Amino acid sequence: MTVNVYGAGLAGCEAAYQLAKRGVKVRLYDMKPHKKSPAHTSDNLAELVCSNSLKAKRVGSAAGLLKEEMRHLGSLLVSCADKCEVPAGGALAVDRDVFSSLVTNSIKNHENIEFISEEVSSFSDDEISVIATGPLTSDSLSSFIAEKFGEHLSFFDAAAPIVSAESVDMEHAFFESRYGKGDGDDYLNCPMNKEEYEIFYEALVNAERAPVHEFDVRDPKVYEGCMPIEVLAQRGVDTIRFGPMKPVGLRDPKTGHRPWAVLQLRKETKSGEMYNLVGFQTNLKFPEQKRVFGLIPALKNAEFHRYGVMHRNTFINSPKLLNADFSLKSNNKIFFAGQITGVEGYMESASSGLIAGINAYRLATEKETVVLPQCTMIGSLSRYISDENVEDFQPMGANFGVLPSLENRPKDKALRGEMYAQRSLDSLDKFIFDNNINGV
C-alpha cells in the first residue's frame, strides 16, 4: 500500500513521517525546488515563511499545550524545533534554516518516503491521499479544488522584515524581555518617545503600499493575527501602541522609565546575526519599508536581509467538507491537512498533518480512524474545523476557548492553564495507550 501526500510544508512533512514510520510507503509531492510560491525562497522542505516563532513554550499555555500533545504523539516537527531553538523569552523560536534542514533530511533520507519534485494540478478519488498544499496552494491545484468542491475561500497573509543585527543602532536599543522573562537578551528593544512615535505613525499610515490584485487588505478575511502593521495602525493612533508596539513590562535603562512605544526584535538564528521585526507584517513597498521603519531611531541605518511581503492564503470551507478525522465527508480516502483546513499557525498546521497521517495509515491498514479527546487542544481544533454549526468560518489557532470548561474553574489564569494541560495530557496518554496510536 502506498499513500500520496501532496505538499511538503509543515503539515505534509508531518503526515508523510507519521505514515512512513509506521511502515507505509509514501509518495510525497512538492513543486520545490523547480518552482516556488512568491513567499518561498529556500529549496528545503517545511520552510517557515513568516515568523520563526512557534509561540509559547509553557505547557500551561494553549500554544505550549498543543506542542506538548504533539510530543506525546511522536511529532517530527516538534522534535526538530527543540533541536534548533533560539532564545525568545517564553516562546519556542527556531533557527529557521536549521529547522528546515533537519526536517528535510529526516524526510528525504527515510526509506519509506519517495520525494517527487513535481507541480500537481489534481488528485485521484481512488487512492488514499493527504492534501497538505498549504495556504499557498498553486493556482492550478487551487482551481481544481474550487471546481471539485465549490466551497473555496481565500485570504491574504503578510510577513515581517528581517534586518541584520550589526546594523541596529545600539545607542537607541536595549536587551530585555517583557517582565524579565527569558534570559534577558532574548529580545532587542527599539524604544520611541512620544514625538518619535507620532512622526513614525504619520509616515506609516500614509506610506505607499504594494498592489494586491483583486483584494482589499481591509477585508475581514485577512486573518487578524497577520494584519499588516500599516492597516492595523489605521484603526487609531494608539492601536499599535497597545498592540505590537506595547511598552508594558519594559524599562529603558537610559531613561529609567517605560518608553512611549517599543518595537521588539527577535533573533532569527542562534548566532543572532539577523533579527525579525516582531508584529511588523507589512505590505508596504520595499523602499517605503526602509524609509518608514528607518524612522525608528534604532533602525535609522538598518540593513534589510528580507523585506516584508504579502501573499495569498487559501483554505477550504472545512465545516461543510471535512470530518473531524480530517477526511472528506464525501470520500474518506481523501484527507486534508494544514492551513488549507482553516487551522491557523505553524504547529496547528503540523498537528493536523500528524493526525491526518495517523488516520491515513489506519485507513490503509483497515483500522478505524481516530479523533483525539475533545479536552485535548488537537482534538478540539479538529472538531472546530469540522463543526457544521460554524457559519462564518475563519482560521482558528490554539486557544483555551475551544476546550470544554473545567469543572472547578479557578480564578487564577495560570492555574487554569495548568489544569487544562493536566486534564488534556492525562486523557491523551490514556487514548494513545487504548488505541495503540504510537504502535509501529
Helices (H), 261-321: 286-293, 318-321
pLDDT at 220: 44
Residue carrying C-alpha cell 478540539: 380
Query: Could you tell me the three cell numbers for 47?
Result: 520552510
Same domain, 96 and 222: no
Boundary of a domain, candidates 308, 332, 363: 308
Same domain, 140 and 7: yes
| H and E: helices and strands count for the chain | 12, 16
Same domain, 338 and 192: no
pLDDT at 182: 63
Same domain, 206 and 184: yes
The domain total for the chain is 2
pTM of the shown model? 0.77
Boundary of a domain, candidates 275, 308, 341: 308
pLDDT at 80: 98
Same domain, 296 and 400: no
Query: Could you tell me the three cell numbers for 217?
Result: 487588505
Same domain, 293 and 276: yes
Same domain, 362 and 293: no
Does 365 map to a domain?
yes
Same domain, 137 and 191: no
Same domain, 301 and 179: yes
Does 256 map to a domain?
yes
pLDDT at 184: 65
Same domain, 13 and 149: yes
Give pLDDT tens digits for 83-95.
999 999 899 999 9
Does 440 map to a domain?
no
pLDDT at 224: 60
* Mean pLDDT of each 10-residue bin along the chain, 440 residues long: 96 98 97 74 85 93 97 98 93 94 98 96 96 87 87 69 93 88 80 98 96 52 72 95 94 94 89 88 95 98 88 84 97 96 93 98 97 97 91 81 88 93 98 88
Return the percent helix, strand and coil in the chain, to nearest 5. 35, 20, 45
What's the CATH code of the domain at 42? 3.50.50.60
Does 439 map to a domain?
no
Same domain, 361 and 216: no
Boundary of a domain, candidates 253, 278, 308: 308
Range of the domain at 262: 162-308
Which of 285, 270, 47 shows the shortest CA–CA distance to 161? 285
CB atoms within 10 A of CB 432: 18
Which of 290, 264, 287 shows the shortest CA–CA distance to 275? 264
Query: Could you tell me the three cell numbers for 109?
Result: 533520507
Does 31 map to a domain?
yes
pLDDT at 210: 86
Same domain, 57 and 189: no
